[in-house]
Amino acid sequence: MDNRATSVGGAGALQLSPMSLNHELADIFRTMAAVFEIKGESIFKAIAFSKVSRILNDMTFDIRKAYDDGTLAQIEGIGASSRKVIEDYLKNGRSADFEEVSTSVPAGLLPMLEIPGLGPKTIALLWKERGVTNVEELVKAIDEGKLDGLKGIGAKKIDSIKQGIALRAQAKGRVGIVEALPIGDSLVERVRALKGIKQAEVAGSLRRRKETIGDVDIVAAIDGKVDPSEISAEFVKFPEVQHILGQGTSKASVLTAGGLQVDLRLVPEENFGAALLYFTGSKDHNVRIRSRALDRGMTLSEWGLYDLAKYEKAEKKTAEAPKLKPVASKTEADIYKALGLAYVEPEMREDRGEVALAEANKLPKLITLADIRGDLHTHTTASDGIASIEEMAAAAVALGYKFLAITDHSKSQVIANGLTAERLLKHIAAIRKADGKVKGIKLLAGCEVDILVDGRLDFEEAVLKELDIVVASPHVSLKQESGKATDRLKRAIDTRYVNIIGHPTGRLINSREGLPLDLAQLFPLAAKNGTAMEINAGYPRLDLNEINARAAIEAGVTLSINTDAHSTVGFGEMIYGINVARRAGVMVSHVLNCMSFTDVMTFIEKKR
């Protein structure tokens, strides 16, 4: 939650681009939910608005479209009150309800929710009893001893708030999956090596392969003869651990030196599946399947799936499995099966309709790394890469690839040593020559051509037609207004020789928003004229992102998952593109570079 309570909802909202309209509205609902929490209104009210916020963020279409079509009322989770806020905002560029709610508490209280250990109840208490309205005042109040004597706030609590403020200042926020995955893997290895551990897995958003990770979750099954508190004592002594947040008999939380939170959960082997399911989440997915369990007379917890009537009578102790035989608990698959669901891959567990698909046994068969047959966007020393054509080709052969497109930069990318038309023609000849020499792989002579600010390309058609394949990408002017940006990409998609739009938005995770494209206009066009859209697998691009990639396949667009490798090592990033694709529900049939070489060429020829 950021401090936008006073910055959204103003008259400026009318100039918003379509997709950021969804995000602006999502912010409004998130803010309102936070205010409800602090004001102590029904927690379910806050949950309902948080859910609306998430729905808006996840939406693959423009909310204004639903409003215009009159289908707003059909969206599950958006009720009458939310609809009123949305309609108000669309019509007037502001919401009276939002303004009333957001001004009912000091705006400075909302960022206080980010302080670990400090929740809405305590924030409200500090505000009402001591007049604290922001983090700075909280620090001052603690230093001056003003919190002494507050009911329910003892010395330890004050100490933990102080620590929470310090932790928040040093916390780096969400880290990229590229950084978190190796940390998670190495910690899990270390856990597995502990005495008494039968198995251990990474869980949480890392297992779901989200593009950024809030913390690392690990679930471990322990030998029944071992005391779990001894294992958690070992865990908190790991060299990576800088600070212990909590430590019990079945659970431990720590902070690493890098500021990353790691949670370990210890369970008996027979409860491992339930714990892994619970700890993997997402929270919304858990809520969905737990409520399904209740509908079927069962209850699901991190210990297992149980018959509800028997469960209520059973003996339960903290940090111990309930004393009754579960319906299912050992594996995730057992639990899904007992709930009448097909197994849901972790990447799909986001409550975006996967449970309904699992019930109907219609989950997509998700793409895997092994399905990739080539890379269609790579660079060499001819522009800004560090490997030769032959070196890149050899690395691709080693990966088992059947084809490889060499697509160095065009002339506008001066900084990247972009090719002039003359140099490009020579480069094409060099690629063709290498193709004749290298065995086991087809090399395509390509180019990553700049999409200029008005949608023209960096080379004339006379040059483009000499190439086997063209990737067209936006590199500059990435802060265009939505209409212009959309027209710019439209023109590129419409260009005869363009086969793939590279990193279509130009976004960079945590540092650049990218073009505010109206993808609802672009995707049908791309689907119709046979232009593929890229999932650029390089971090921090991952562009298209999972939401946009999902919208793309829903519109019938062919995707291409490419690394944009600038070295042979760069090929290794393909897995991150696969992660995005899996989270988007992408199957082999959606992806250009999962096709045979012949079919790739047919796809290209068809547009020419």
Partner DNA sequence: GCCGTTTTCGGCCCGACTGTTTTCAGTCG
The values of phi and psi at residue 571, to 5°, are -60, -25
Say whether residue 332 binds DNA (CB under 7 A): no
Residue 80 touching DNA (CB under 7 A): yes
**For residues 504 and 520, what is the distance between their CA atoms, to the nearest angstrom?**
13
What's the half-sphere exposure (Cβ side, CA atoms, 13 Å) at 330? 4
Residue pair 197/191 in contact by the 8 Å Cβ criterion: yes
Letter string b/e over residues 164-187, b meaning 16 or more CB atoms within 10 A of that residue's CB: bbebbeebeebbbbbebbebbeeb
Which C-beta is closer to DNA: that of 233 or that of 429? 233
359: contact with DNA by CB under 7 A? no
Is 197:180 a contact under the CB 8 Å cutoff? no
Interface positions, 210-269, toward DNA (CB under 7 A): 215, 217, 246-251, 261, 263
Q: Out of 166, 257, 294, 309, point to the residue binding DNA (CB under 7 A).
A: 294
605, burial (CB in 10 Å: exposed 0-12, middle 13-18, buried 19+) = exposed
In angstroms, what is the minimal distance from the CB of 75 to DNA? 7
What the block records as the tokens of 566 is 């600038």
Residues sharing a CB contact under 8 Å with residue 103, sequence separation 6 or more, in sequence order: 5
Tell me the per-residue interface mask from 511 to 540 with DNA, x by CB under 7 A, - otherwise: ------------------------------
If one asks whether residue 92 binds DNA (CB under 7 A), the answer comes out as no
Residue of 345, 281, 332 whose CA lies nearest to 304: 332
Distance of alpha carbon 431 from alpha carbon 113, whole angstroms: 57
Using CB under 7 A as the binding rule, whether residue 83 contacts DNA is answered as yes
Asked if 319 is part of the footprint of DNA (rule: CB under 7 A), the reply reads yes
The pair of structure tokens assigned to 192 is 């597995």
In what helix (H) or strand (E) does residue 220 lie, and over which residues does it extend? Answer: strand 215-222
| CB proximity list for 240: less than 8 A, separation 6 or greater | 183, 187, 256, 257, 262
Segment interacting with DNA (CB under 7 A) among 170-178, 288-296, 438-446, 590-598:
288-296
Binding mask 29-48 for DNA (x = CB under 7 A): -------------x-xx-xx
Residue 353 binds DNA, judged by CB under 7 A: no
- Is residue 283 part of the contact set for DNA (CB under 7 A)? yes
Q: C-beta of 51: minimal distance to DNA in Å?
A: 7
Q: Is residue 449 close enough to count as binding DNA by CB under 7 A? A: no
- Of 293-301, 391-399, 549-557, 582-590: span binding DNA (CB under 7 A): 293-301
Selected from 160, 199, 331, 417, the binder of DNA by CB under 7 A is 160
Q: Which of 121, 140, 237, 426 binds DNA (CB under 7 A)?
A: 121
- Which range, of 151-159, 336-344, 408-416, 461-469, touches DNA by CB under 7 A? 151-159
| The binder of DNA chosen from 140, 195, 316, 325 (CB under 7 A) | 316
Nearer to DNA, 3 or 247 (CB): 247
Task: Round to whole Å and give the CA distance between 546 and 357.
Answer: 18
Minimum CB separation from DNA for residue 130, in Å?
A: 14
Let me know: does 305 contact 295? Beta carbons within 8 Å: no
Task: For DNA, give the closer residue by CB, 290 or 490.
Answer: 290
**Residue with smaller CB distance to DNA, 18 or 304:** 304
CB atoms within 10 A of CB 323: 9
User: Which of 115, 328 has the CB closer to DNA?
Assistant: 115
For residues 204 and 216, the answer to whether their CB atoms sit within 8 Å is: yes
Per DSSP (E only), the strands in 483-607 are 500-501, 532-536, 559-562
Does 318 engage in binding with DNA (CB under 7 A)? Answer: yes
The residues with which 470 forms a beta bridge, in sequence order, are 447
**Run of H or E including 246:** strand 241-247
**Shortest gap between Cβ of 153 and DNA (angstroms)?**
6
- Tell me the three state secondary structure of residue 291: helix
Q: Does 149 bind DNA (CB under 7 A)?
A: no
State in angstroms the smallest separation of the CB of 18 from DNA: 22
Output the smallest distance, CB 554 to DNA, in A: 21
Rounded CA gap, 378 and 396, in Å?
Answer: 11
> Is residue 139 involved in binding DNA (CB under 7 A)?
no
Closer to DNA by CB, 295 or 439: give it.
295
Maximum CA extent, the chain: 83
Say whether residue 63 binds DNA (CB under 7 A). no
Nearest residue to 272 (alpha-carbon basis) of 315, 320, 329, 217: 329
Binding residues for DNA, total number by CB under 7 A: 64
Among 155, 193, 370, 415, binds DNA (CB under 7 A): 155
Chain residues in the site for DNA (CB under 7 A): 42, 44-45, 47-49, 52, 76-83, 113, 115-123, 151-158, 160, 164, 204, 215, 217, 246-251, 261, 263, 279, 283, 286-287, 290-291, 293-294, 299-303, 316, 318-320, 322
